[in-house]
Structures are given as C-alpha cells and as structure tokens.
Amino acid sequence: MSKKIKGFSKFTKEEKINWLAENYFNDNLKTIETIKQYWNDDKKLQQLHDDFIENTISNFYLPMGVAPNFLINGEEYAVPMVTEESSVVAAASLVAKFWSTKGGFKTTVLGTTKIGQVHFMFAGNKEELTKYFNKNKTELYAATASITKNMEKRGGGILDIKLVDKTEKLENYYQLHITFETKDSMGANFINSCLEAIAAKFRNDEIEIVMSILSNYVPECLVRAEVSCKIEDLGGENPQKFAEKFYQAVKIAEIEPYRAVTHNKGIMNGVDAVVIATGNDFRAVEAGVHAYAARSGNYTSLSHCTINNGIFKFWIDLPLALGTVGGLTALHPLAKLSLEMLQKPSAKELMQIIATAGLAQNFAALRALTTKGIQHGHMKMHLQNILNQLGATKEQKETITTYFEGQTVSHSAVVSKFEEISKAKINWVNFTDETEVRNLLSNLKTDSKPVFGKMNGQQMVEHLSLLMKVSNGKVNADFFVEDEKSARRKAFLDTENELQVGFKASMLSEEPNTLVFASIKEAIDDLVLQVTNFKNHFKITEIENHPFFGELDYSYWKKFHVKHFTHHFKQFNLV
C-alpha cells in the first residue's frame, strides 16, 4: 500500500502524528507517547518552537552545558555549549582552566566583510558589458537604498560591487561580486534582499540573471585566536617532549588530508556547540570553515603551532559569519540566555569567543592524542552513557566505574559486568509473601519521595494494586498486542533483567493517579487483598491480557509482578 499523502502540511499537529504512527511505526501508542513526551507544558513556548520550522511534531532535545573559566583578552567567560557528544564540554572546561593561569586566550578580528553574488549569463561583447556596468554602478547602489538605510545607520551596508569575468571556466558566465558589512546581524536576509534588488536593476535584454544569493564562504570575515607560553610552563613530566609531539601532530594535519579532516572536526566540536547555543547557523559556519581549509587547493589544518626560542605558540584562523541580533538569536529563549551569559557580545566579540572554543577543543584533543590517547577521556564518558542506558543505580555506576579504571571500555564488556553485579545483587520481591510485603512497606509514608519518577509513596502502592487488578480481570486492559510483539516482549519476563526506569504501560497516564484511599495503611491492605484475589482468580481463569506484554497466563503474570514490585520498591529504596 502506498504511503504517499497529499495535504500533509495542512494537517493539525495531532493529525500528522497519528498518520505517522499508523503508517511508519509498529507500536502506535508508544510512538505517540514518545513524541508528546518532549512537548513543552507551556503551550505558548511550545507554539514558539512549532513555528520555527514546518510540519513540526515535537522537540528534539540536545544537552546544554557550560564551560567556565575562559579568559579571553583579559575578560572572564562561562561559555554555553549545546552538543550531544560526550567529552566536548569537559575538555573545553579543562583547557580553559589550564590556559587561564598562563595569560588566557588572545583574539583578533582580522575582517568582517561578507559576500553576495549575482550570477548571470552574457553572450555579447565584454567591453560593452564593462561599459554598461560602470555606467550603471551608481544606480545599482541606489536600487538598494530603502533596504540599506537602517544598516548604514549602524555603520554597515554595501562596501563594493565588482564585475567578475568567469567565462574561462564556464561559457558566457559573469557575476556581480558584492561585499557587505552587516555589523551585529548575520545578514543573510539583508544580503539576499540587496542582491535581488541589484539583479532587477542590472537585468536587460542581453543579460540573463541565473540567481542572486549570498555566499557562506567568508574568507574576509576572519578571526584569530591563540595561546602561548614558555615551554616549561606546559607542565607534565617532560614539557619539551610534549611540545615537540604536539607540534608534529599539527604539522601532520597540515600536510595529510585524511588527518586534517578529523583534526578540523575536533575544532568544530567546540565551534558548533557555541554556534548552536547562540542560535546561529552551524551549517553555514561548517560549510564556510571547510571551504577555507581547502582554499589552497589542498585540504589542511585550520590550526597551527610553533616552538621557537623556548616559546610554545598555538593559534587558529577561522572564517565566521555570525549574528547577535535578529533571526533565531532573538526568538529562541535559550539562545537569548546564552548571549546574556556571554555578557551580550557584539558579532565581533562572539567571533572571538567561538574561535577560542574551537582552539580549546583542538588543544584538548591533541594533548590527549599525544599523551594518553584520545580514548581515555572519550571512553570515560562513554561508560557513563552505557550505564545510563542500562538503568544502573548510583552504587552500580560507582562499582563498574572503579572496575574499568585502567581497563579498555567496550559496550559488551560493560553490559557483561552490569549483568554480573545485577544478578548478584537483585533482591527480587516475593509479592505473594504477605509478611515480606508488609515488612518492606512498613516505613513507607504517603508523602515519601521517590528516587525516580513522579509518584509519592501511597500512589506507588495504589499503582501496584491497579496492575494486580488488571491481572485479576477487575480492570479492563484489552489492548490488542500482536502475537509477534507479545512473543518478543514476553521473552523479557523469562530473563533476570529488571524493568528499566521509564517503563510504562500505554494505558497509564503521564501523571500519577489521584489517591483512592484515605491512608497508606488502607492502600497496603488493599494491595494484600489484590494479591490474594490474584491467586484465587487464576484457579478459574487461564489467561488475562497485559496492555504491553499481551495475553499472559498465571506463571507469566507472576514473573511480571515480581519485576514490577521490585522495580517500584527500588523506586523508594525499600530493597
């Protein structure tokens, strides 16, 4: 069956989600639940995000961190960074602190001009075209007067318009090459509006305009960031040897494209993280930076190093077209917060901060590569990510982290160790033993706070009772679960694995249910009653439906309840 659809953009957000869930996902309810889980509770704020792009269905979160202790031209900064890659923020923070005791980072803006082009075809005499251009050049400026008026008040505008002959590379191809100063705005809309006005004025019967568009290659919108110190101040067991290996690593990236690409990717880890945090266009920055790295005809390192007369010097030149006013920087609440964190910088100042972040990231990577290896820091963070995925407790994390100190971290090794200590330490709750259940719940209070989740103590007890009632046939849970899915999911019940944090049947609401009983004692009494009913119910019934696992017999319901009770008793540190 075809999944083509007409009028999708006219659907409401709910309709879009429902259509996607029905056509592209197996578990419709879980899909919809996941999508809506990332909606903002503030409807006005959610609408703001919905309006950023088209066909919005949800928000895709990225972590926002802060790298403190940056000293740039004598000013102290805490730098906001948005990235999903582990170690980036930690590395930037360590390097910032390292150089803050050695004079910090020094930065210089080398240029701020940006480029736009009108691309056109002309088959006539070049001299006639040149005369036509020179005659109308003043008129081309005048054609943009209404657009440039406000920009000129801020010191920006069109700096120059040149006629460029490109016919040697493409027959009849010429361009108007136009340079702009856009001050604190990135200027994309301003530049493109000017270009279209110029193209309309320049066009005649012999000139065929192909397109008018800004360029993201901005080699004259350039910033330099650098650090330097005496080699002996680099520290470590042998600072001279470290400096020499560091220098060699940079030189390799200068001459070897395979290395240069990865080298520069590390730089962009720092650059992109701040570009995104401040609401700027990281795709434009990436494109322009990599074009700059290949400007000589060979792709090469963006950073450079010297060790002369006992002085270590490390620097970077980056083309960065950025804005601090307009666009997403003025709309996204966290972008505005990031700019405020950076003390409301001008576009020039932001260029310097972001170049510094890139240089810091590069220094961190090269220091790791030339000493203990890049995997040391990466795998330390990777280990924590794996443990989070496994739902490890705080104690389990501490045990496993200690175990892997000095050892190679791999996903399979971590899972193996996690399963080993989990099997040894899981105290499964025997929910059919009334004495054990009452003893474990004896110190629980109605308002007891959970280790995870939203329920209080009594809500947790009543939640267990609710699932007992489902297994007793007292609560309707006839959600259809395909046989294939049921078989796959039931296999989990045969394992020694625990329910993961966040597991929730689709029939349950996002928020905890309203309390049914007047006291937690009454709730516990009811839970014990439901367990008794469970035993009796399956003397006359063979199957009851579970909303996630499908049809379960007594033995499988028992396995589920053991995991479920244990999961929620752990939620309140009862086992």
Catalytic residues: 85, 265, 281, 378
Q: Is 188 exposed, middle or buried (0-12, 13-18, 19+ CB in 10 A)?
A: buried
Strand, coil or helix: 459: helix
CA distance linking residue 523 with residue 245, whole number of Å: 68
Residue type, 310: G
Residue type, 398: E
CA distance linking residue 267 with residue 78, whole number of Å: 18
Strand, coil or helix: 212: strand
CA distance linking residue 562 with residue 499, whole number of Å: 10
Record the tokens describing residue 294, joined without a space.
Answer: 């290949």
Torsion angles phi and psi, residue 184, rounded to 5: -85, -5
- Determine which helix (DSSP H) or strand (DSSP E) holds 379, and give its type and residue range: helix 375-390
Record the tokens describing residue 477, joined without a space.
Answer: 């849970």
Residue type, 469: K
Residue type, 225: A
CA distance linking residue 162 with residue 207, whole number of Å: 16
CA distance linking residue 477 with residue 470, whole number of Å: 6
Torsion angles phi and psi, residue 229, rounded to 5: -165, 170
Residues 6+ apart with CB under 8 A from 526: 462, 465, 516, 517
Provide the strand spans (E) within 194-338: 207-214, 222-230, 303-308, 311-319
**Degrees, nearest 5: CA angle 133-136-140:** 105
* Phi-psi label, residue 226: left if phi above 0, alpha if psi -120 to 50, beta otherwise: beta
Provide the strand spans (E) within 222-310: 222-230, 303-308
CA distance linking residue 328 with residue 441, whole number of Å: 52
CA distances (Å), origin 51, targets 20, 47, 332, 526: 20, 6, 11, 49
- Let me know: does 108 contact 224? Beta carbons within 8 Å: yes
Per-residue H/E/C for 319-372 = ECCCCCECHHHHCCHHHHHHHHHCCCCCHHHHHHHHHHHHHHHHHHHHHHHCCC
Strand, coil or helix: 70: strand
